[in-house]
A and B are shown apart, each in its own frame.
Chain A
Amino acid sequence: MRAQFVLSEIGVGLRRNLTMTFAVIVSVALSLALFGGSLLMSDQVNTMKGYWYDKVNVSIFLCNKSDAESDPNCAKGAVTDDQKKQIKADLDKMDVVQTVTYESQDQAYKHYKEQFGDSPLASSLTPDQMQESYRIKLKDPQKYQVIATAFDGRDGVQSVQDQKGILDNLFGLLNGMNWAARAVMALMLVVALMLIVNTVRVSAFSRRRETGIMRLVGASGFYIQAPFIMEAAVAGLIGGTLACAFLLVARYFIIDHGLALSEKLNLINFIGWDAVLTKLPLILATSLLMPALAAFFALRKYLKV
């Protein structure tokens, strides 16, 4: 009885205010889509960083057996133990070096698996194909060139890479986009909240006759407010559902099809469906609770007992 009564009141309220309801839905959908997008972008950056990104500045990759056949830098064969000892000793002597870590083929294989998981490329790899490496943390990250000139072209060294330098530009861009998305999201969120507050007030005002009579016959405050709060929550939930749909469609078209970045940039490890799916409950919960709370506070002034 009560549930049916409340539900019919919600339907009446939403229809009466169709344009405002629509505005609430759109603004909630946009702000939450941006919210989800920004979360996913952070996920993407983290996925790309890999095991060593935050720990070292420069990596010296050593030749393995397959490099010896294919890579001109490794024409003199795979790295030997003597060469490794020499490199380590030289590194230890350098002032700019803070720490040096050796990564074996097995460790490299493990870290690679952690990052790329079960992608087709990773599953065809064996530890043999991985490179041994020295991972170096510099006292001054700008001094990358010192290491590069000292070790590039040395026997047993395949390449010296300033991975952080290469990736930093990309991450800088992604982070910038992320902050821009958050700023727009915050604005949209404010707009959405103001729209909800306004919609609820208009709704409460247009039904002041009903609510006045409800108060007279002794309806509890919650009973009077519930239809308005649920109205806002329903509109918000519709917006949240749209935001979720948008994120799923966006991942599908940007990564798998349409733009198909996963084919064009097949060296980058993209976020999977699980990353998107785990964000959806959060978005739905926000879309339900945020408008409900906004409505609750909007009503406190308007529907006193």
Chain B
Amino acid sequence: MIRFDNVSKVYPKQTRPALRDVSLEVEKGEFVFLVGSSGSGKSTFLRLILREERCSHGQVHVLGKDLARLSNWKVPQMRRQLGTVFQDFRLLPNKTVGENVAFAQEVIGKSRGEIRKSVPQVLDLVGLGGKEDRMPGELSGGEQQRVAIARAFVNRPKLLIADEPTGNLDPQTSVGIMKLLDRINRTGTTVVMATHDQNIVDQMRKRVIELEKGRLVRDQARGVYGYQH
């Protein structure tokens, strides 16, 4: 699903690489936590997967494609097979919940009939059934994140990238979001989630990848947030 081979990333005008010689593989259906302090390279790692950046050295394979050899105009095709969720939700404030979810389908040219069918379905799945016509501003943070997850999942991606999805939420709401992501994972969708939330990582007991100053320092199945030696 994802394979990094000796990947380094140096941003222009910076001497210290954001990622140094990272190699790892994520299999289909896995749930992976990406942990590390701020500036450890988590965001760069995710941006490389999304092909928002290209790596400086090494190779990144996502969904069986070498991203370095993927031409620019094919990038959108690739991104349609990924879902993305962010800390700041990234909803359109002037569109309703239903329209926000439908947006992901409109831009890739799905028919109106398909959209009308799949939007309520996916909103039910995330626990927001019947809130289609509400505006994002009227919802709580947890509910907004659920809308974002619905939008990420509505096109049934094979891979879901979550960048600190619980970063703005209280612990109880976070648990709800994690249950939702876990459910999505159980449908066969691979989930890669960057997080700072120690409790969540410790409770879920999933694979943990830790980055420190751009290096891969830990890759542990059924791991916890902190070091365990």
- A209–B90 CB distance below 8 A: yes
Residues from chain B with a CB closer than 8 A to the CB of A150 are: none
Interface string of A285-305 (1 = CB under 8 A from B): 000000000000000000011
Q: Is there contact, CB below 8 Å, between A1 and B106? A: yes
Report if B75 contacts A (CB, 8 A). yes
Which of B75, B78, B112 has its CB near the most chain A CB atoms (within 10 A)? B75
Q: Which residues on B sit within 8 Å (CB–CB) of A218?
A: 76-82, 107-108, 155
In the bound complex, CA of A304 to CA of B72 (Å): 9
Cβ of B104: which chain A residues have Cβ within 8 Å of it? 217
B92 touches A305 (CB 8 A): no
Q: Judge whether B227 is part of the interface by a CB distance below 8 angstroms.
A: no
Contacts A209-B90, A213-B92, A216-B79; is A221 near B109 (CB within 8 Å)? no
Q: Which of B58-79 touch A at CB < 8 Å? A: 72-73, 75-79
Query: How many contacting A-B pairs (Cβ < 8 A)?
Result: 59
Residues in A with CB closer than 8 Å to B72 are 221, 304-305
Is there contact, CB below 8 Å, between B92 and A220? Answer: no
Task: Tell me the bound Cα distance from A215 to B111 in angstroms.
Answer: 19
- Interface size of B by CB at 8 A reads 25
Report Cα–Cα, A98/B71, bound state, in Å. Answer: 68
Q: Contact at A217–B75, with CB atoms within 8 Å?
A: no
Q: Closest CB of chain B to A299's CB: distance in Å? A: 14
Partner pick for A223 among B78, B84, B90, B107, CB 8 A cutoff = B107
Interface 0/1 of A208-242, CB less than 8 Å to B: 01101111111111011000000000000000000
* Interface pair B107/A217, CB less than 8 Å apart: yes
Which B residues, 85 to 123, have Cβ-Cβ distances below 8 Å to chain A? 90, 92, 103-104, 106-112
Contact A1 B112 (CB under 8 A): yes
Is B20 interfacial (CB 8 A cutoff)? no
Is B42 an interface position by the 8 A CB rule?
no
> Does A273 belong to the interface (CB within 8 Å)?
no
Query: Looking across the interface, which residue of chain B has its beta carbon closest to that of A304?
Result: B72
* A5 and B90 in contact, given A218-B79, A218-B80 (Cβ under 8 angstroms): no
| Given the contacts A217-B155, A305-B72, A5 and B106 also touching, CB distance less than 8 Å | yes
**Is A2 interfacial (CB-CB < 8 Å)?**
yes
Q: How far is the CB of A16 from chain B (nearest CB, A)?
A: 11
Q: Which residues of A contact B77 (CB under 8 A)?
A: 218, 220
Asked if A209 and B92 make an inter-chain contact with CB atoms under 8 angstroms apart, the answer reads yes
Residues B73 and A221 in contact, CB atoms below 8 Å apart: yes
Give complex CA distance A1, B114 in Å. Answer: 11
Selected A-B contacts with CB under 8 Å, 30 pairs: A1-B106, A1-B109, A1-B112, A2-B106, A5-B106, A209-B90, A212-B90, A214-B103, A215-B76, A216-B50, A216-B84, A216-B90, A217-B79, A217-B103, A217-B104, A217-B107, A217-B108, A218-B76, A218-B77, A218-B78, A218-B79, A218-B155, A219-B108, A220-B73, A220-B76, A223-B76, A223-B107, A223-B109, A224-B107, A305-B75
* Contact surface of B with A, Cβ cutoff 8 Å: 50, 72-73, 75-82, 84, 90, 92, 103-104, 106-112, 151, 155
Question: Which 5 pairs across A and B sit closest by C-beta, in order of nearness?
Answer: A218-B80, A219-B107, A218-B79, A217-B104, A220-B76
Given contacts A209-B90, A218-B108, 12 further A-B contacts (CB under 8 A): A212-B90, A216-B84, A216-B90, A217-B103, A217-B108, A217-B151, A218-B79, A218-B82, A218-B155, A219-B107, A221-B73, A223-B107
